[in-house]
Amino acid sequence: MVHLRIVAPSDRSEKALELLSAHGSVSNVIFLKDAARSPDGDVILCDVAREDASVILGDLRELEIPRFGSISLEYIDTQISEAAERAEKFAPGAPSDAVIWEDVEARTSENVELSGNFVAFMVLAVLIATAGIFLDSPILIIGAMVVGPEFGPLAGLCVALVEKRGNLALRSLKALVVGFPVAITAGFLVSVAIKELGLAPDDFSLDGREFTEFITHPDFFSFFVAFLAGCAGVLSLTSTKSGALIGVLISVTTIPAAAGIGLAAAYGDGDEWRGAIAQLSVNLTMIVLAGVGTLFIQRLLYRRRRIEHLSDPAREKAGLPVGRSTRSDRRAEG
């Protein structure tokens, strides 16, 4: 279940109250008259089945609640309520399969910002991976993959492409276009320093790495794993299963490939340098393609659900047209 807190002026709150009270997937509706200040208005609290959260939020947007007030959303971890159970049964589908698009948009928007912390984590991740290549240590490579923050902007780019949001796409690309070159440059400079100071392991060779050679030698499995990781990453994002995202980060070779580019450049090895660039390009491309494809399918399923919901009698009680949407941007229908 998802808990909503709605603040709206009385002329809007009355319609929202009618809508929420009449819909079978909504329970525990509480109305607080004139309880809100700044902006002044009424407060409505309710619980919505996760499967219907986005379609209900779409109706509230048609009532222009965000324009005159606000809608806050939070997940309910535990709830003991027969009314809530009936609401979940009313909403078709499984809660774990439901996508709350407003939540996806909010979380991706937060994770695509080009900030000092983002660049710092990119640099630190690449430096850890650089040490991993020097030591031929898969443990350090895995650690670098987990530290790397690059999946946030990649996921944001996928969402932006599916929902045709130019501003989000530009912010995501800006983070990637700045973050990777800065991190690669840092890796190059550190690699040069390690080489010139004689700190590299005595037996280090770019050609003789048993455990990390894959970083600069992309093959079929580079495409295959990156594609699967892109699908899994988007599913973890839309289903809020953060545990799966850790596995995604460990599966892709973006950060290690970036480290390979800098290290190979420091040693003047053109073949390894080109191989690392190819590995990075393959991973970035396949993650985005897989992510866009996964989101597109999920969006189509939501669009069908939303269109079916437009015929719900609860909309008529709220003064909304039945069978069509009043939203000018039409994003509610996909």
In tens, the pLDDT along 89-111 reads: 998 878 778 889 988 888 888 78
SS3 326: coil
Interatomic CA distance for residues 257 and 254, integer angstroms:
5
**Pairing of the two strands 2-8 and 70-75:** antiparallel
- The pLDDT score that the predictor gives to residue 333 is 44
Other Cβ atoms closer than 10 A to 56: 25
- The pLDDT score that the predictor gives to residue 64 is 92
Specify the range with the lowest mean pLDDT, choosing from 57-61, 91-95, 137-141, 166-170. Answer: 91-95
- Flag whether pLDDT at 316 surpasses 80: yes
Edge-first strand order for the sheet with 70-75 is 26-36, 41-48, 2-8, 70-75
Interatomic CA distance for residues 278 and 276, integer angstroms:
5
**Tens digits of residue pLDDT in 111-132:** 888 999 999 999 999 999 999 9
SS3 175: helix
The residue that leads in pLDDT, 328 or 56, is: 56
Amino acid at 82: E
- Flag whether pLDDT at 331 surpasses 80: no
Residue ranges of domains in the chain: 2-95, 105-301
Closest to 209 measured CA to CA, from 140, 125, 280: 140
The average confidence (pLDDT) of the chain is 91
Interatomic CA distance for residues 21 and 24, integer angstroms:
8
- Contact indicator for 100, 53 with CB cutoff of 8 Å: yes
Q: What is the rounded average pLDDT of the residues 130-136? A: 96
Interatomic CA distance for residues 10 and 219, integer angstroms:
62
Q: 2-95 has which CATH code?
A: 3.30.70.120
